[in-house]
Amino acid sequence: MRWLIRLLASLRSAPGTEEERENAGTPARGSDMETLKKSFQNIHDAEILELENERLGKITLLYIRSLIDINQLQEFVIAPLQKAAGTDLRDTVQAAHLSALEGLDQAETAAFKGAVILHAGGRLWGISLSSSLSRAVEPSKQEAVIHGPQDSFTEQVENNLTLIRRRLAVSALKSERFQLGGLSHTTVILLYIENLTNPEFVRIAREKTVSVKSDAFFDSSHLSQFLEDHIHSVFPQFQQTDRPDAAAAALASGKVVWLVENTPFALIAPITFFDLFQSPEDYIHRWPVSSFLRGLRFFAFLFAMVLTPFYVAITMHHYQMVPLDLLFVVLESRSEIPFNPFWEAMFMMLVLEILKEASLRMPSKSGQTLGIVGGIVIGQAGVEANIASNLLIIHVAVTAIASFLIPNYLMTNSSKLIQFGLLGLAAWLGLWGIIIGLIMVLIHLNGLTSLKQPYFAPLTPFYGIDWKDTILRLPLRWMTRRPAWLKTLDPNRVKSGNSHPEPKG
């Protein structure tokens, strides 16, 4: 009778049916474990532990000491196994992350992801006990806001998922897990909201993610470069954010989000050119203030690209455009300069870029010194040595400040490259050259796509209804519909939800 009682007890306590238990994992041969042990040779922190359990028989544990939490291993795995608490491994080890493994490859990958591999009862099992090496959730440094949520993503992909799930507590938020990179086995999680996000986006995102072929991914930017539609474009086609609220807002509007392991940045697509000028703070300010600030950013982007080339065009080709009083100032400023305006501007812009790049690589305290040396000393000395005119220094400085207004770092760098192109065209053909350069940029933006969707929407193609939240940011209560260009399954934002107060007690 004892065997019958034991059987009934195991049926009662174990999750899933008997059939599921039978199917849990492919039976492992003894030689499989030997192969696994061999592949862990010469890894100094790989440990193999063999335990003898009264009911389960011989159990082999294999793990990488530096990747797992030793205390948890002792408390939740070794101690229960020594006590021989249950008749089944699932009854004995009460770990939440116990899962059956399908084969040696999976076991090996799991071990290097921080799991303890168990060989018991002729099967391979994995228990995820990865040590939490993550830093704490801190305020975002890249997209800092004065008001609003102060948490940001970390390198732990599961923690990042938690931060998003806390904001979108619905079962419709679906997450699909992929492992990319033959060496890095980087976990990538694709997130979208079912019955809201256009299924076509999800299909394209899934297909693109599956088709990524590379041996190692260490950053979300690496992945984005494999997912982009136009690999030669200077414009970023994915938005990268380290703010969970921005990622959650993107999901809620019908976009797709990728979380990448070991990266504190989520990828968002499809995006438009205009999305890259938005800041989470736009939704905190009063709408007239937000609209003004957004307008200022667009103006600054154009200004940063065009101002120095414009100076070169005017001084090389179109003196007649400058009113006489102003012309005297220009001429006096340039009278002692031995170079033509193109080389003068090129030199100063290169110096500025060198300074910017150097200040990024240097420690923050040295960076301040560099700013003083670069900005004041070189600028002043340059003017006094007649290498650059006062007027050009002002142009270059204003350009540099204007470029910092663009919230997206990748977009800031894109504008730099365009600026140099326009500078060459300005020197060659004056304003005609600048304008044809800008037209080419517009043609390029008009033809770009992000996740196969038009990048320059809602301008081309034109979606009038989406202009409520593009350059202007109109009152939030007017934004009752999701962006039309996203072609969501549910275009309405406003639902007759339960906005009544919760009952007491």
Partner 1 sequence: MRAEKHGAEGGLWPASLGWLFVNRLQVALYILCLPHVLLYPYMVWAILIVGAASHFHLRLLAKWLQTEEARLGHEGFVRLLGEKATRVLAVPGAIVILLESSIVTLDYLEITHHVLFPSVSKLTLLPLMWLASCFLAGYGMPAAGRFVVMAFLGSIWIVGLFLQFFFPPVANYRYLLPLFPQELHPGTPYNLLMLWAALSGPQYLAFVGHRFAPGSGMYRWLALGNALSVAEYILFFLAVTLSFGSEYMRKLDYPVVQLVRYIQLPFFERLETIVLPVHMVLYIFLNGFFILFVRDALRVAAGAARKPQRWHWLAAAAVLWVAFVYVMGRFFWATETQHLFWIHVHMWLAGAMYALVPSFLVLAAAWRKRRSTNR
Nearer to partner 1 among residue 195 and residue 460 (C-beta): 460
**What CA–CA distances, in Å, run from 413 to 301, 420, 426?**
11, 11, 20
**Cβ neighbours for 484, distance < 8 A, ≥ 6 positions apart:** 458, 463, 465, 466, 491
Residues 411-430 that bind partner 1 (CB under 8 A): 429-430
Measure CA of the first residue to CA of the last residue in the chain; give whole Å: 49
- If one asks whether residue 487 binds partner 1 (CB under 8 A), the answer comes out as yes
Query: Which conformational region is residue 74 in: left (phi greater than 0), alpha (psi within -120 to 50 degrees), or beta?
Result: alpha
When binding is defined by CB under 8 A, the residue of 222, 406, 454, 482 that contacts partner 1 is 454
CA atoms within 13 A on the CB side of 150: 5
Nearer to partner 1 among residue 397 and residue 484 (C-beta): 484
**Cβ neighbours for 256, distance < 8 A, ≥ 6 positions apart:** 190, 191, 192, 197, 201, 202, 205, 268, 269, 270, 451
Per the structure block, which two tokens stand in for 384? 């006094």
Residue 301 beta carbon to partner 1: minimum distance, rounded to whole angstroms: 16
Nearer to partner 1 among residue 204 and residue 266 (C-beta): 204
- If one asks whether residue 493 binds partner 1 (CB under 8 A), the answer comes out as no
Residues 322-351 that bind partner 1 (CB under 8 A): 322-323, 326
Burial of 44 (0-12, 13-18, 19+ CB in 10 A): exposed
- If one asks whether residue 397 binds partner 1 (CB under 8 A), the answer comes out as no
Residue 152 beta carbon to partner 1: minimum distance, rounded to whole angstroms: 33
When binding is defined by CB under 8 A, the residue of 318, 367, 373, 401 that contacts partner 1 is 318
When binding is defined by CB under 8 A, the residue of 139, 465, 478, 480 that contacts partner 1 is 465
- If one asks whether residue 453 binds partner 1 (CB under 8 A), the answer comes out as yes
**What CA–CA distances, in Å, run from 270 to 267, 409, 450?**
10, 18, 5
Q: Which stretches of 208-360 are assigned E, i.e. beta strand?
A: 239-241, 256-260, 266-269
**Quick check: 459 and 442 in contact, CB under 8 A?**
no
- If one asks whether residue 432 binds partner 1 (CB under 8 A), the answer comes out as yes
Nearer to partner 1 among residue 379 and residue 437 (C-beta): 437
Residue 464 beta carbon to partner 1: minimum distance, rounded to whole angstroms: 7
- If one asks whether residue 128 binds partner 1 (CB under 8 A), the answer comes out as no
Considering only 30-38, 68-76, 79-87, 480-488, which stretch makes contact with partner 1 by CB under 8 A?
Answer: 480-488
Determine the size of the site formed for partner 1 (CB under 8 A).
36
- If one asks whether residue 460 binds partner 1 (CB under 8 A), the answer comes out as yes
- If one asks whether residue 272 binds partner 1 (CB under 8 A), the answer comes out as no
Residue 190 beta carbon to partner 1: minimum distance, rounded to whole angstroms: 21
Considering only 58-66, 218-226, 354-362, 432-440, which stretch makes contact with partner 1 by CB under 8 A?
Answer: 432-440
- If one asks whether residue 444 binds partner 1 (CB under 8 A), the answer comes out as yes
Residue 452 beta carbon to partner 1: minimum distance, rounded to whole angstroms: 7
- If one asks whether residue 485 binds partner 1 (CB under 8 A), the answer comes out as yes
When binding is defined by CB under 8 A, the residue of 15, 464, 503, 505 that contacts partner 1 is 464
- If one asks whether residue 152 binds partner 1 (CB under 8 A), the answer comes out as no
- The neighbour count for residue 134, using CB atoms within 10 Å, is 16
- If one asks whether residue 463 binds partner 1 (CB under 8 A), the answer comes out as yes
Residue 447 beta carbon to partner 1: minimum distance, rounded to whole angstroms: 3
53 vs 41: CA distance, rounded Å: 26
140 vs 386: CA distance, rounded Å: 43
Distance of CA 49 to the CA centre of its chain: 40
**Quick check: 51 and 61 in contact, CB under 8 A?**
yes
Q: Is 273 helix (H, G, I), strand (E, B) or coil?
A: helix
Nearer to partner 1 among residue 95 and residue 441 (C-beta): 441
- If one asks whether residue 289 binds partner 1 (CB under 8 A), the answer comes out as no
Nearer to partner 1 among residue 220 and residue 399 (C-beta): 399
User: What sign for the dihedral angle of Cα 493, 497, 500, 505?
Assistant: negative
Say which residue the tokens 């140099």 belong to. Answer: 420
Considering only 12-20, 391-399, 403-411, 481-489, which stretch makes contact with partner 1 by CB under 8 A?
Answer: 481-489
Nearer to partner 1 among residue 135 and residue 318 (C-beta): 318
**What CA–CA distances, in Å, run from 444 to 173, 305, 469?**
34, 16, 23
Length of the chain: 505
Contact footprint for partner 1 (CB under 8 A): 318, 320-323, 326, 429-436, 439-440, 442-444, 446-447, 452-454, 456-457, 459-465, 484-485, 487
